[in-house]
Amino acid sequence: MNIKRNYEYLLSDLSALKGVGAKTKSLLKKKNINNLFDLLWKLPKSYTDRSLSSKIKDLRIGDIQTINIIPKKYNFPRIRNLPNKVICIDDTGEIDCIFFNSYEGYVKKILPLGKEITISGKISYFRKKYQITNPKYVSDDSSIIQKVHNQYSLTDGISEKLYNKIIGQIISNLPNLNEWHSKTILKNFGNINWKDSIKELHKPENIGKYKNNFYQRLAFDEIFSTFLVNSEIRKKIKKVKKKNKVINLDLQNKIINKLEFSLTNDQIKTLIEINNDLSSNEKMFRLLQGDVGSGKTIVSLLAALNTINSGFQVAVMAPTEILAKQHFNLAKKLYPNRIRTELITGKSEYKKKKEILDKLKNNSINIIFGTHAIFQKKVHFAKLGLIIIDEQHKFGVNQRKKLSDKGGDNCDVLLMTATPIPRTLTMTIYGDMDISIIREKPKRRKPIKTYSKPETKIEDVIKFISKEIDYGNQVFWVCPLIEESKKLDHSSAIKKFEYLKKKFPDNVALLHGKTNNQEKENILSDFLKQKFQVLVSTTIIEVGIDFPNANIIIIENANKFGLSQLHQLRGRVGRGDKDSTCILMFKSNLTDNAKKRINILKETNDGFVISEEDMKIRGFGDVLGFKQSGIKNFKLADPIHNSDLFLLAEKEMRRIENSNEDISKFKPLIKLYDRADIINDIA
C-alpha cells in the first residue's frame, strides 16, 4: 500500500514536507509537533481574506489588501540601511513596494519589470503616495494569493505563509482511511468520514464551530481511542491467571469487631469488591477512590490482612515517610502480634535496611510500609501477593501498567486516591482499572465549618485562633507563595511566619517547598507531637496525613486556589473528634468565579460535588494539577461540554467487549492517537 494511502503517512517525520528543513523542524518540535498528525491539531485562530482584488485608487489605508500590479521602475539606494523601492502601477494609479533588509536580486526576481504580479499586504500612505511594506504574499500566480488564509498561533521564526503552506500540503495529501466506526455510531455525526472532518476543521469559516458534525466526530474519535486502549489493558491484565487468595472472613471480622467505630456501608461494599478480586484467579487492578476522611486506609489494611492470612506478603507505598509511618503505626495497632510488620524509610540505618531486605527475601516479613524505595530493583519479595499505593494520582497509564507487571502474576494491585474527580474524567483517567468509590463519611466525623473573611479582618482571625490555642488545639496557616512576589499580590509564607511569630512566640513553625525532605519530616513530626501549635505552610501539606489535634485551617488568598485544592487543604483538619473550622481569607474585589468557588466550599463538604463544580469553572485539564500528572490532555474533546460523547463511547465500548468484537479495524485510530506503545501487538 502506498504510504500516502494509509495512516502511516500521517505519522511521517516533519522532514517529509516540502519547505521543512532542520531549522523549521526544530521550531515546530518546540511546540510539541513531532509528525504530520500533530500539525492537524494546531487549529486556525482567525483568518485573513485576501480573495478580493482591489484597484490602487480604491485602497484603504491600514487594511490588508490584494492588488494586481505591474512593476515599472527599481530604486535601489547606494546608502546602507535605506530600503529598496519598486514603483508599481495599475490602470488607476501608482504604489511603492518597500523592502527592508532584502537583496536587489531577490526583489528583481519576485517583481520583474513589465510583468503582472499579484501582491498582498498592509496598505500605508507616505508623502502623498500609497505604500506596501515587505508584502507577505507576492506571486505571478494570483490563485495562490487570492483566497482566504488561516492565521495560526505561530512559533517565532515560522511565517504565516510557510505555516499555511505546510498545513496545505498535509490537507491535500490526506489519506482515504477505511472507516473504523459502525454505521450506528456514524449516524450521530451525519455520516461524515474522518478525512472530510479534518478538511472541515481547517476551513476558516468553521473556526469555533464546536457543535458541528465534523468537530463532534473528531472529538469522539479522540475519546474512543482512549477507551479502546484502556479496554485492551484491562483485557491483558485479566488474562493473567493467578493463584487465588483464600479469604478467612472470621479473622477479618474479629478485627472489625474490635474497632472503636462501625464501618460505613460504602466501606463494607468496597471491602467485599476487593475480597472478591483477591479470591478470584484473575489479577486485581483496582482503584479505591474516596473523599478525604472517608476511611480508605482501614479498608486497604483489612484487604492486606486477608492477603497475609492467605500466605502472601504485602507492600504498602505512600508518597511521604510520615504518611508511610502513619499507616505502619495504624497497622501495628490493628493487627494481631503474629503479623510481622516493618517500616523502611530514608532514615533507616544501612544495617537495619539490609536486615529488612533479607527478611523480605526469606518471607520473614508479612507486610512492609515505605515510600517508592520499596519497589527498587534491589528489593526482592519471597511471595508478594498485594501492592497498595496510596495517593497515586501522580501515576499515568504507562506507570500503572509497569507497576502491575512488576508484582508478578500472583500479585494484586490496589491504588488509592483521596482526589474525588468527575465521572467523565474517571472514565478517561482510570478506565484501565476497576473502580471502588467510598462517598459516605464515618458517622464520628463532624463536618468542617467553613467561613470566609476579608484579609482586613485578620485581627478577628488572630483572636479566634488565640482562643483555640488556649484550648490546646493546633492551627494550619496556608499561604500560596514562599517569598514575596512583585508580580503576584499573594501573601508570602515567610512573611506570615514572621508576623505570627510575634503574635505567638516560640509556638510557630514554617514549612515550604524549599524545605529539604529531612527537615520537612522533622517539622511535621514535631507538629504531630504538639511541640508547637501553629504551622505556616505552602500547599505541600495537602495530601494524606492525619493530625488529630489540628482543627483549624486558615487559607490565605483562597480566591487564588481551585475548588478541589481548597477542599484537599480543608481535609487536613477535622480528623479527630473536635469541631473543626476552615477560614478562607481573601482580598477585596473578588471576581464572580472566585465568589462562586468560596460559596460552594461554604455550602458543601462533599468532594465529588466540589470536583464537578471545579471542572465547570476551571476546565478539566487543571483540576488538581492533572496536567502535570501524565494524564491525557485532549486536543478537541472536553469532559464538560462533550459529556454526551463520553457516555456514547462508554456504551459502544461495552457493546464491543460484550460481543467480543475484533478490534483490529481500530488499529489506525489507536496508532494515530499515540497510545499504541501500551498495546502494540494489535493485529
The residue among 4 and 605 whose pLDDT is bigger is 605
CATH topology identical between 249-438 and 449-604? yes
Q: Which residues contact 241 (CB under 8 A, 6 or more apart)?
A: 281, 282, 409
- 3-class DSSP state of 60: coil
The residue among 403 and 418 whose pLDDT is bigger is 418
Extended beta strands in 302-362, E state: 313-317, 341-344
Residues in the chain: 683
Least confident of 225-229, 351-355, 405-409, 653-657: 405-409
Q: Give me the pLDDT at residue 130, please.
A: 94
Q: Confidence class of residue 32 from pLDDT cuts 50, 70 and 90?
A: confident
Q: Which of 373, 432, 520, 486 is nearest to 232 (CA)?
A: 432
End-to-end Cα spacing for the chain: 17
Q: Confidence class of residue 20 from pLDDT cuts 50, 70 and 90?
A: confident
Identify whether the C-beta of residue 477 lies closer than 8 Å to the C-beta of residue 534.
Answer: yes
Range ranked top by mean pLDDT from 36-40, 145-149, 181-185, 520-524: 181-185
Amino acid at 682: I
Q: What is the mean pLDDT of residues 52-76?
A: 93
Dihedral sign from CA coordinates of 528, 529, 535, 540: negative
Q: Give me the pLDDT at residue 680, please.
A: 55
Cα 664 to Cα 111: distance, rounded to the nearest angstrom: 55
Q: What is the mean pLDDT of residues 630-634?
A: 55
Q: Confidence class of residue 54 from pLDDT cuts 50, 70 and 90?
A: very high
Q: Which of 103, 108, 169 is nearest to 138 (CA)?
A: 108
Q: What is the mean pLDDT of residues 189-198?
A: 95
Instruction: Give the CA angle between residues 31, 36, 37 to the nearest 5°.
Output: 90
Cα 367 to Cα 344: distance, rounded to the nearest angstrom: 11
CATH of 449-604, one of 2.60.120.10, 1.20.1250.20, 3.40.50.300, 3.40.50.2300: 3.40.50.300
**Per-residue pLDDT tens for 454-510?**
888 999 999 999 999 998 899 999 987 655 554 454 557 888 888 999 999 989 998
Q: Give me the pLDDT at residue 679, please.
A: 53
Identify whether the C-beta of residue 300 lies closer than 8 Å to the C-beta of residue 415.
Answer: no
Q: Which residues pair with 120 in a beta bridge?
A: 66, 137
Q: Give me the pLDDT at residue 541, please.
A: 67
Residue 67 has pLDDT above 90, yes or no: yes
Residue 73 CB coordination number (10 Å): 11
Q: What is the mean pLDDT of residues 538-562?
A: 79
Q: Confidence class of residue 450 from pLDDT cuts 50, 70 and 90?
A: very high
Identify whether the C-beta of residue 210 lies closer than 8 Å to the C-beta of residue 197.
Answer: no
Q: Give me the pLDDT at residue 125, please.
A: 92
Identify whether the C-beta of residue 369 lies closer than 8 Å to the C-beta of residue 316.
Answer: yes
Domain boundaries, the chain: 1-45+160-176, 51-146, 177-239+642-683, 249-438, 449-604
CATH superfamily of 51-146: Nucleic acid-binding proteins (2.40.50.140)
Q: Give me the pLDDT at residue 143, please.
A: 85
Residue 395 has pLDDT above 80, yes or no: no
Give the side-chain half-sphere CA count within 13 A for 543: 17
Cα 50 to Cα 66: distance, rounded to the nearest angstrom: 6
Q: What is the mean pLDDT of residues 260-281?
A: 93
Q: Which of 193, 189, 194, 195 is nearest to 212 (CA)?
A: 189
Cα 396 to Cα 433: distance, rounded to the nearest angstrom: 12
**Per-residue pLDDT tens for 78-136?**
887 889 999 999 999 999 999 988 888 999 999 999 999 999 999 999 988 999 998 88
- 3-class DSSP state of 310: coil
Q: How many angstroms separate the Cα of 272 from the Cα of each of 247, 249, 304, 404?
A: 11, 10, 13, 21
pTM of full prediction above 0.75: no
Helix axes 194-201, 213-239, angle to 10 degrees: 130
Identify whether the C-beta of residue 271 lies closer than 8 Å to the C-beta of residue 259.
Answer: no
- Which fold does the domain 249-438 belong to in CATH? Rossmann fold (3.40.50)
The share of the chain scoring above pLDDT 90, in percent, equals 36
Q: Confidence class of residue 446 from pLDDT cuts 50, 70 and 90?
A: confident
CA dihedral in degrees (391, 395, 400, 406; nearest 10)? -80
**Per-residue pLDDT tens for 304-337?**
999 999 999 999 988 878 788 889 999 999 999 9
Mean pLDDT over all residues of the chain? 84
